[in-house]
Amino acid sequence: MKQRDDWRLTDTLEYEHGRGDPFAAAVRATRMPMVVTDPSLPDNPIVFCNVAFQTLTGYEREEIIGRNCRFLQGPDTDSTTIDRVRAAIKDGRDVDVDLLNYRKDGTTFWNALYLSPVRDTDGVLRFFFASQMDVTERVEAQKAISQQKELVEREVERRTADLRAALDAKTILLHEVDHRVKNNLTMIGSLLRLQVRSIDDPIMTTKLDSMLERVDALAVVHRQLYQSSDISSFDIGSFAENLTRDVVGASGRTDIAISIDSQPLFIDAANASALGLILNEILTNSIKHAYADGRPGILSVLVTNVDDRGVIRLCDDGPGISSTQRTKSIGTSLITRLARQARAEAVWTSNSPGTCVTITFPKREAGK
Amino acid sequence: MTNAMGVLIVEDEMLLAMDIEAMVEDSGHRVLGEAASLKDVQALTNAITPQLAFVDLHLADDSNGLEVSRFIQERWPDALIVFITANVARIPEDFAGAHGVIAKPFSHAGIANAINYLADGVSNPPPTTAQPASFTPSPHLQRRWAANQGVK
């Protein structure tokens, strides 16, 4: 009871300038709005408020004293936050919340409310002490930021969806084009093969067969390119191995042994067709000339790299071929021209017995 | 020496069917029937017993190779089924029971090597010939050949 009377005493302090409790004087004079409520009275009314509180809320002291704090609430005050405050009061705990409050003139402000119980020496709850702070600017700024953030996120989401749709469309298109190219290449191959069967002239047949082999080689390049996850690079190493097995297998020549020392070797996809055709010309040439008339032998393929260039060496152990003979064939001029296109180099050397062709070409630039 | 196989060709593109037929015959085997759709396959006579079927995925009359594969397994359970398609990615993981795939565009070499390999395996499983790059087997093939091993 004594304590409560002390608080009452401060009521008159204002009028008795400077007399009484200096702490009470500080509470009166501080710029921080403060109230004290008395939970022992019905509906826990406000028994003290300072001037800063009056200024903040716009109410006169007479309008404040004796009322429960809820008179500051309004229609937009968050009810869950109110419940938190109520629960704290009921349990005699302190609580720290941001609450939307209403001034006398109906305008609103964000109130950073800190409420704590005041107990006497016996631990009996005597008062609640509440300090307020107008944090409208901070809350509004936070709201603005979160709205901005939401806006940005929505926009990012929308653009991501757009990009994904565009990528899907591109993937479908790529797939469709790949499918059509494959079907067309298959048809071209079939047409050539059917044509070859209808021609009796062996010279014509040989020429068409060479044509067919080239189309087949291009088909293998395309197939391998679109089977890989990265269509901008091409593994010429496994291509060389597959093509060698394919070409020798197609010749039906079980007496030609294959020796392959291969490794994955990546080149730019743009050069895949040119290098694929070069390899095809060299391989088919070897089988036709080095192993002519049923001559058995070993065809060896080495895939390696020297510095930043890829190297493929194809060697036969046939009788060898003179350079004058070689320069006359369309195959040789194809190799020369295609090599220039792919910035590659083809060099013929004697293998005694036989011939080696070494092709060096640019590897795919790392990190490209 | 490998025995000649009886082969079924299921392909809706006539040009390709003709070409495959020629390659099959060139390899010393016999084409028992050709079909462009599931309906065509169902209409084939029961009198034939193919050991190998080349099946395109996309077929006429809105039918597809997966349906044909299942039908062939029922009617000719001993036949090996090999898809020939430009759309390898569309084949389900279980291959609809089929034994392998040859990707389009195929080459003469690719088809010929696959036929030789399969013929070798049919007459004397598992084949001693090296598996050609053009042919991708499904798990069903290994299982079949493991089961048939020693059975002539």
User: Within this chain, do residues A235 and A358 fall inside the same structural domain, yes or no?
Assistant: yes
Q: How far is B118 from chain A (nearest CA, A)?
A: 14
> How far apart are the CA of B90 and the nearest CA of chain A, in angstroms?
11
Cβ–Cβ below 8 Å for B105 and A185? yes
Tokens 């029961």 correspond to B46
Residue B109 with chain A: CB contacts under 8 Å? 216, 246-247, 249-250
Q: Is residue B64 part of a domain?
A: yes
CATH number of the domain to which A105 belongs: 3.30.450.20
Domain shared by A245 and A357, yes or no: yes
**CB distance A193–B133 less than 8 Å?**
no
**Parallel, antiparallel, or unpaired for β A309-315 and A125-131?**
unpaired
pLDDT beyond 60 at A361: yes
Confirm whether A11 is domain-assigned.
Answer: yes
Please give the residue of chain A at the shortest CA–CA distance from B19: A190
pLDDT for the residue A335 = 87
pTM confidence score: 0.62
Q: What share of chain A is helix, strand, coil (3-state, %, to 5)?
A: 55, 20, 25
| CB-CB neighbors (< 8 A) of B58 in chain A | none
Quick check: is B1 in a domain?
no
CA dihedral A8, A12, A14, A16 (to 10 degrees): -140
- Tell me the pLDDT tens digit for each residue of B120-147: 888 887 788 888 888 999 999 988 888 7
Total domain count, chain A: 2
Q: Rounded to 5 degrees, what angle do the CA atoms B41, B132, B55 make?
A: 10
In a domain, A350, yes or no: yes
Q: Residue B2 — pLDDT band, cuts 50, 70, 90?
A: low
Mutation target among B13, B108, B129 for the A interface, most CBs of A within 10 A: B108
Q: Residue B83 pairs with which residues in a beta bridge?
A: B55, B101
Q: Is residue A159 part of a domain?
A: no
Candidates B22, B23, B86; nearest CB to A183: B86
Average pLDDT, whole number, for chain B? 89
The answer for residues whose C-beta is within 8 angstroms of residue A251's C-beta and 6 or more apart is: A287
> Minimum mean pLDDT among A182-186, A320-324, B35-39, B74-78: which range?
A320-324
- The answer on pLDDT for B95 being more than 60 is yes
Binding-face residues of A in 161-190 toward B, CB within 8 A: 178-179, 182-183, 185-187, 189-190
Residue A191 lies in a domain: no
Calpha distance B119→B8 (Å, rounded):
14
Do residues A315 and A356 lie in contact, with contact meaning Cβ atoms separated by under 8 Å?
A: yes
Contact B113 A185 (CB under 8 A): no
Considering only CA atoms, which of B98, B30, B107, B18 is closest in space to residue B64?
A: B98
Write out pLDDT tens, residues A229-249: 777 889 999 999 988 888 887
Task: Tell me the count of A-B CB pairs closer than 8 A.
Answer: 83
Does residue A355 fall inside a structural domain?
A: yes
Q: Is residue A212 part of a domain?
A: no
Cα–Cα dist B41/B57, whole Å: 14
Tokens representing residue A161 in the block: 């969806």
- The total of other beta-carbon atoms located within 10 Å of residue B33's CB is 17
Chain A residues near residue B110 by CB distance under 8 angstroms: 216, 220, 246
Last residue of a domain, one of A115, A134, A153: A134
Least confident interval from A69-83, A88-102, A286-300, B92-106: A286-300
The rounded distance, in Å, linking the Cα atoms of A51 and A44 is: 21
Evaluate whether residue B45 is within a structural domain: yes
CA torsion sign for A49, A54, A59, A60 is: positive
Whole-number pLDDT of residue A146: 93
Q: Which domain holds residue B42?
A: 6-148
Mean pLDDT of A163-191: 88
Q: Which of residues A134, A163, A188 is at a domain's end?
A: A134
pLDDT attached to residue A5: 52
Whether A7 and A130 map to the same domain: the answer is: yes
Domain hosting A38: range is: 2-134
Kindly report the CATH number assigned to the domain that includes residue B37: 3.40.50.2300
Q: Is A281 on the interface with B (CB under 8 A)?
A: no
Identify from A184, A187, A190 which residue to disrupt to test chain B contact, counting B C-beta atoms within 10 A and taking the largest count: A190
The residue among A71 and A329 whose pLDDT is bigger is A71
**Structural domain count, chain B:** 1
For the ranges A156-165, A228-237, B85-94, the one whose mean pLDDT is highest = A156-165
| Cis? peptide before A117, omega within 30° of 0 | no
Band (pLDDT 50/70/90 cuts) for residue A13 is very low
User: What is the structure's pLDDT at A15?
Assistant: 44
Average pLDDT for A10-29: 64
- For residues B64-68, give the mean pLDDT: 95
Q: Give me the DSSP letters along A16-58.
A: TTT-S-HHHHHHHH-SS-EEEE-TTSTT--EEEE-HHHHHHH-
Radius of gyration of chain B (CA): 14
Q: What is the DSSP string of chain B?
A: -PPPPEEEEE-S-HHHHHHHHHHHHHTT-EEEEEESSHHHHHHS-TT---SEEEEESB-STT-BHHHHHHHHHHH-TT-EEEEEES-GGGS-TTGGG--EEEESSP-HHHHHHHHHHHHHHHHSSSPSSPPPTTEEE-HHHHHHHHHHTT--
Last residue of a domain, which of A114, A134, A154? A134
Strand partners, A356: A315, A349
Residue B142 lies inside a defined structural domain of this protein: yes
Average the pLDDT over each of A65-69, A214-218, B72-76, B126-130 and give the range with the smallest value: B126-130
* β-bridge mates for residue A128, sequence order: A37, A117
